[in-house]
Amino acid sequence: MSEDAKNQQYSADSIQALEGMEHVRKRPSMYIGDVGVRGLHHLVYEVVDNSIDEAMAGHCDTIDVVINEDNSISVKDNGRGIPVDIHKKEGVSALEVVMTKIGAGGKFDKDSYKVSGGLHGVGVSVVNALSSKLKATVYRDGTIYEQEYERGKALYPVKSIGKTEERGTMVTFKADETIFQSEIDFSYETLSTRLRELSFLNKRIKIGLIDKRNKDEKGEFIQEHFYSEIGLPEFIRYLDGNREQLTAEVIAMEGEKNGVPVEVAMVYNTSYNENLHSYVNNINTHEGGTHLSGFRRGLTSTLKKYAEQSGMLDKLKFDIAGDDFREGLTAIISVKVQEPQFEGQTKTKLGNREVTAAVSQAVSEMLTDYLEENPNDAKIIVQKVILAAQARHAAKKAREMVQRKTVMSGGGLPGKLSDCAWTDPEKCEIFLVEGDSAGGTAKLGRDRNFQAILPLRGKILNVEKAMQHKVFENEEIRNMFTALGVTIGTEEDSKALNLEKLRYHKIVIMCDADVDGSHIATLILTFFFRYMRELIEEGYVFIAAPPLYLVKKGAKKAYAWNEKERDALVEEFGGGTIQRYKGLGEMNAIQLWDTTMNPEFRTMRRVTIDNGTEADRVFSMLMGDDVPPRREFIEKNAIYAKIDI
């Protein structure tokens, strides 16, 4: 190639690179999912992933994440440091290539075992493109190197700024506020949950999180340090800490089949819920996919074979189905796939066909060994499966009743439902109201065109502790199914939801703003989470926010939702009387409409699931047997808060 041609080639490439970065800024959602709170936090994960890769390749054991005072984020590792020598093809440093070229990340290091890389595997250049300012610092060969960027463009070539004994890479970025919808404000909880999860998924890496925006009582920055020596079995203990386990040991395996590294940990508990969490390259695949199918297949075939050979099924009068093997099972399946294909609505379903057999074989081998070596545990597990099959037959009858009732139109709606006049689900709302008296007020206060009211009696069933057939037999729960127009269960999957006939696109939980009220709201949410999770995922579920105070002075009156607002009103009015609302029942219909139901003035909170695995743990804790952690949690998080887990 002539010198001219080379220059031309180089500039053509750099134009392409520029276009790549421009494209990220024009269509950020294509790269980070969305430009809301979730996408913002995704930037951190993307940077951390690079350090995790370096750790998985065996070159680094410590990663520190800092939320700086100005809400910029620093991620530092003690790896080899990103190379800074001139990249032959690009004519600039490798560091600059990694930071400014879309899809360049680590490509020139073919030896490293690189499989992680964020939801879309987009690399740190995307973070750079979406940051108003980013600084990369490399500690390598005794020298500290530095390069800074603005909105993805390098401000100067890599320079050396001093000497060091350290090794590693540090990236500090400030997310661009012109890209993101809301204020750049990182949630400590969200980051901490994800980093804890990463430490379980990638054992023996020290991961720290420091929040320099806040100090504790001792005057130290809020911080946590995560480290898991054994990985998934510890994750299981953490998730299932509030459930009673059937066996002393967590069953764990680790291996590689057909080039796919597979890690599984599982344990049975006394609950009736199935809790499977699956990960591909550290990403939670909550729509499941081929690895989960492989796990199910391996589990069912192995346990079935063992149960048959043991003679425990000889006198059984009913069949055993796949579901029965998973009742009360908590399991984590983590695989690493070189070129994952993600499918499904939220791109969290693994599509790679070859993974099913790999996981299924790995699970069969591990479980066969385990059952043979632990005959007592094996017996306990088979007995649990038989009980589950028994209960399933009872549940099937109850479920069929729910379906039959739902299918009937008009006359099939529950008597307690005050339905709305309109029928377009997109325009319609249903309020699930605690107690008949508040239900009466809501019925008077509502706009009957588009607002329906379903009063629920006292405490609804705690589904966390109930067998499936008890759930389907429960009248309040049946009323919810029929009122919402949701049916459940197919031959294949007893919990599959059918939302085609959903009658309202806003489902609003309206409870008193006190401890009892928040307990009831949590019971209802637990039911939605376990039995109608898609409703939450689709964004249909809300929590109403009734005011806590009414401040009056002469003819002036106004509502307040917290102490700060209340005090501001008192100051504004120059004194006045304060009425504290303890329950919905203390408001009349007009007040309830004005403050809580009128779409123009109300504030409602949409319930979202930030991290499905953590949400599962929190619900098992909130609704389980152990009282102390629940009390502590409720005290720490006051009313409702944190329910948008």
Residues found in the chain: 645
- Distance CA(104)–CA(125), nearest Å, equals 8
Q: Decide: is 521 part of the binding site for ligand 0RA (CB under 6 A).
A: no
DSSP for 255-277 reads EEETTEEEEEEEEEBSSS--EEE
The answer to whether residue 434 is catalytic is: yes
Of the candidates 424, 436, 514, 625, the residue annotated as catalytic is 514
Q: Which helix (H) or strand (E) holds 204?
A: none
Part in contact with ligand 0RA (CB under 6 A); list of ranges 49-57, 200-208, 463-471, 501-509: 49-57
Annotated catalytic residue 534 = no
Residue 83 in contact with ligand 0RA, rule: CB under 6 A = yes
Contacting range for ligand 0RA; rule: CB under 6 A; set: 77-85, 196-204, 477-485, 631-639: 77-85
Q: Which is nearer to ligand 0RA, 77 or 512 (CB)?
A: 77
Write phi, then psi, for 349 (nearest 5 degrees): -125, 125
Phi, psi at 511, each rounded to 5°:
-130, 165
Q: Does 517 bind ligand 0RA (CB under 6 A)?
A: no
The footprint of ligand 0RA on residues 380-419 (CB under 6 A) is none
Burial of 585 (0-12, 13-18, 19+ CB in 10 A): middle
| Rounded alpha-carbon distances, angstroms, from residue 338 to 133, 180, 282, 284, 540 | 32, 31, 12, 16, 36
CA geometry: angle at 426 spanning 441 and 486, to 5°?
80
Stretch of 80-88, 172-180, 449-457, 518-526 lying at the interface with ligand 0RA (CB under 6 A): 80-88
State the catalytic residue, choosing from 434, 476, 614, 616.
434
Out of 516, 567, 594, 644, the active site residue is 516
Q: Does 82 bind ligand 0RA (CB under 6 A)?
A: yes
Binding test (CB under 6 A) with ligand 0RA, winner from 13, 61, 90, 109: 109
Q: Can residue 117 be called a binding residue for ligand 0RA (CB under 6 A)?
A: no
* Whether the Cβ atoms of residue 192 and residue 47 lie closer than 8 Å to each other: no
Residue 132 CB: number of other CB atoms within 10 A? 16
CA 527 to chain CA centroid, Å, is: 17
Among 42, 80, 349, 506, the residue binding ligand 0RA under the rule CB under 6 A is 80
51: contact with ligand 0RA by CB under 6 A: yes
Rounded CA-CA distance 438/264 in Å is 48
> By C-beta, is 76 or 530 nearer to ligand 0RA?
76
Q: Whole-number minimum distance, CB 76 to ligand 0RA, in Å?
A: 9
Q: Does 77 bind ligand 0RA (CB under 6 A)?
A: yes
Q: Is the dihedral of CA 85, 91, 96, 97 positive or negative?
A: negative
Residue 611 touching ligand 0RA (CB under 6 A): no
- Say whether 614 is catalytic: no
Could you tell me the end-to-end alpha-carbon distance of the chain, in angstroms, rounded to an integer? 58
547: contact with ligand 0RA by CB under 6 A: no
Catalytic residue check, 111? no
Binding segment for ligand 0RA (CB under 6 A), chosen from 34-42, 50-58, 224-232, 503-511, is 50-58
Distance from C-alpha of 260 to C-alpha of 335, rounded to nearest angstrom:
7
CB of 206 to ligand 0RA, least distance (A): 15
Tell me which stretch binds ligand 0RA (CB under 6 A): 79-87, 293-301, 309-317, 502-510.
79-87
Instruction: Kindly determine how many residues on this chain lie close enough to bind ligand 0RA according to the rule CB under 6 A.
Output: 11
Tokens of 405: 């009732």
User: Annotated active-site positions, please?
Assistant: 434, 512, 514, 516
